[in-house]
Structure 1
Amino acid sequence: MKHRLICACLLASVLLSGCGSLVGRRNIDSGFAYIESHEYENALESFASAENNGEDECLLHRGRGIALLKTGEYEQAATELLASLAADEGIVDDMDFDTNYYLAEAFFNMGEYSKAKEVYDAILGLRSKDSSAYYLRGVALLASGDHDNAYSDFTRAITLSPKDYSMIIMIYRALDEHGYGDEATALLQTAMDNGQNFMTNYEKGQISYYLGNNAEAQSYLEAARNERDQEKEPVVLLLGQTGEKQGDYNYAISVYKTYISENPDSSLVYNQLGMCQIKQGDYEGAVASFQSGLALGDKDVEQALMLNEITAYEYMGEFGLASSLMETYRHDYPDDEVAARENVFLSTR
């Protein structure tokens, strides 16, 4: 049975139903593989080929929408995602909810907060206990200036997932960024008070960090760093930041270098190490760190590493090299307006 949820303010209906046939989708599969490897232009070419070959409309529009979303083409992404939902012919499944989440993200990034809210309304109409939808709808409401309803959604999200401390921290950050710091801190403190018997050392360290209790945060995070089953990279990154927050870059650098000596495949830690080295005036060391991170080929961190490497060369006075690298960066990330302004500066050096 097809479920249709019509949102009055949307340009088209938000549909929650399943995509069609899985046969004849060679180009679609290639497109999604390119998305997985962050090669979005290649993905878009694959979906264009899929369309020319008459492959599944629901899937190719979904894939094209996701690729466009990742490249910052939010309006086009929304159009494609709506087309995917309109082409659905099966029963509702997880993929359909996932497509709606992408659609809401596109609307949010366009500043269309009411449209994003309506998509979350549709999701919650069928999944009334989806804490993520409540959290994200709260973020959209907060961005639109509706604090009271946003706070109500945040409270509902926490009630449904009281041990999802990552989500609670994101709620804290959203409220704090919009000027509700006291309210945000109270939520974190309540989570800490209620979760002492359930939280891991890493979770306690996270919340202590955001509460401003750096000594406690370091104690919990040092304990977490020595736990056998704890994922170490996020612990190390936050532990180093406790030092950075206090201006103790020697401590932070020691934490990052110790980790890299045992786990040399972390582009995130290389990036953070390089930033600390810039703060200490060790620009050559920073460049080496950023280049080591770039050599790992992590597409999620590549943009930050490239831009930070350029910054380090600027501090060194290597404006010609920085300008050359900026040309490459601008080719790869043409929508970065901040970098575009920086490029104007470099062109005058």
Structure 2
Amino acid sequence: MRNKTGYAAAVLLLSLMLPLAAGCKDRGSQYSYREAGITALNEGNYKEAIESFDKAIHSSKGLVGKVDMDILKYRAEAEYLSGNYAEAVDTYDKLIKADGQKPEYLNMRSVSKAENGDLNGALEDYRKSGELDKEGKAPGRLHALLTAGAFLEEKGSADEAMSLYQEALQAGETSARLFNRMGLCSISKKDYDSAVNYFEQGLSAEDSAKVPELLFNQAVAKEYKGEFKEALDLMQKYVSVHGPDEAAEREITFLETR
């Protein structure tokens, strides 16, 4: 399924030179460790998962084949989910070195770099992925976009973040998560009319059910515009749909006095 690089082809040739019995034994151990790692990963035991994936990789004696690529991807996921972002970056480096600059690797390395504080590196990987994946269909593309954009906003670069979001929108991205991020970015710029518009588009998106905060955020945008009755109606609708929470109840109490 994946094209072999020169490096992968070379190690495949080396693997054929190993004694068959030893190769089968090592491969059996590798699969066992891999399965143990996947089980631990699914259970949220990330440290245990990483240890199992490391054992699986070491059991291959440095050879890099399709199974090893699969294990590295699982390990990178475990490292990311455990908050070991520098280690995740290092693992994606290995994947890219061995398997080439696949857009999905660049996307997730972008996310890991952003979380590790390397925003410039994250943006570089995001851009490079876009060059290789013109349709933006590779796994992790939206995640990379939203993570980089959120960090830009936090650093006070809302205009740059909005440029990223607009590029994605023009390229055909219609996720409710993107519209929600654009709405929040507009609120930070005190462009409340645009914020309301983006939240409305998000609520009309196919995946809107996955972003329950859209309704809450739309109510906040209406409040900032001084449209208190509409904001109250939206906040009450949010509570009726998603259930009460402290922030929503506090907003309702405030809006009822306006």
TM-score after normalising by structure 2? 0.67
Contact kept in structure 2, 1:218 and 1:242, CA below 8 Å:
no
Gaps of 5+ in 1: 1-125, 140-149, 173-183
Residue 266 of structure 1: how far off its partner (Å): 2.0
* 1:163 and 2:69 correspond: no
* 1:207 and 2:112 correspond: yes
CA distance in 2, matches of 1:233, 1:214: 16
Q: Matched residue of 2:174: which SS? A: coil
Which string of whole-angstrom CA distances, capped at 9 and with x for unpartnered residues, describes residues 62-85 of structure 1? Answer: xxxxxxxxxxxxxxxxxxxxxxxx
CA distance in 2, matches of 1:127, 1:188: 19
Q: Residue in 1 aligned with 2:152?
A: 243
Q: Residue in 1 aligned with 2:91?
A: 191
* 1:151 and 2:151 correspond: no
TM-score after normalising by structure 1? 0.51
* 1:135 and 2:31 correspond: no
CA distance in 2, matches of 1:158, 1:341: 48
C-alpha spacing 1:234/1:152, structure 2 compared with 1 (3 Å): closer
Residue 312 of structure 1: how far off its partner (Å): 1.0
Question: What letter matches 1:169 in structure 2?
Answer: Y
Residue 191 of structure 1: how far off its partner (Å): 2.4
Residue 230 of structure 1: how far off its partner (Å): 4.9
Q: Matched residue of 2:132: which SS? A: coil
Residue 279 of structure 1: how far off its partner (Å): 0.7
Which string of whole-angstrom CA distances, capped at 9 and with x for unpartnered residues, describes residues 47-75 of structure 1? Answer: xxxxxxxxxxxxxxxxxxxxxxxxxxxxx
Report the more deviating stretch, 285-294 or 265-274: 265-274
C-alpha spacing 1:162/1:294, structure 2 compared with 1 (3 Å): same
Contact kept in structure 1, 2:110 and 2:126, CA below 8 Å:
yes
Question: What letter matches 2:39 in structure 1?
Answer: A
CA distance in 1, matches of 2:53, 2:239: 40
Contact kept in structure 2, 1:222 and 1:239, CA below 8 Å:
no
CA distance in 2, matches of 1:324, 1:338: 15
CA distance in 2, matches of 1:276, 1:186: 28
CA distance in 1, matches of 2:198, 2:54: 39
Q: Matched residue of 1:265: which SS? A: coil
CA distance in 2, matches of 1:269, 1:159: 39
C-alpha spacing 1:157/1:323, structure 2 compared with 1 (3 Å): farther
Q: Which residue among 230, 244, 247 is the counterpart of 1:338?
A: 247
CA distance in 1, matches of 2:168, 2:230: 30
Q: Matched residue of 2:212: which SS? A: helix
C-alpha spacing 1:163/1:297, structure 2 compared with 1 (3 Å): closer
CA distance in 1, matches of 2:38, 2:244: 29
Contact kept in structure 1, 2:86 and 2:112, CA below 8 Å:
no
> How well do the aligned residues superpose, as a CA RMSD in angstroms?
2.8
- What is the 5 A alignment of 1:28-107? none
C-alpha spacing 1:138/1:233, structure 2 compared with 1 (3 Å): closer
Residue 134 of structure 1: how far off its partner (Å): 0.7
* 1:296 and 2:219 correspond: no
CA distance in 1, matches of 2:177, 2:203: 10
Q: Matched residue of 1:163: which SS? A: helix
Identity across aligned pairs (percent)?
23
Which string of whole-angstrom CA distances, capped at 9 and with x for unpartnered residues, describes residues 250-276 of structure 1? Answer: 111111112212315322111111111
C-alpha spacing 1:342/1:195, structure 2 compared with 1 (3 Å): same
Question: What letter matches 1:201 in structure 2?
Answer: L
C-alpha spacing 1:338/1:158, structure 2 compared with 1 (3 Å): farther
Residue 315 of structure 1: how far off its partner (Å): 1.9
CA distance in 2, matches of 1:335, 1:157: 42
Question: What letter matches 2:78 in structure 1?
Answer: M
CA distance in 2, matches of 1:241, 1:331: 29
Q: How many residues align?
A: 203
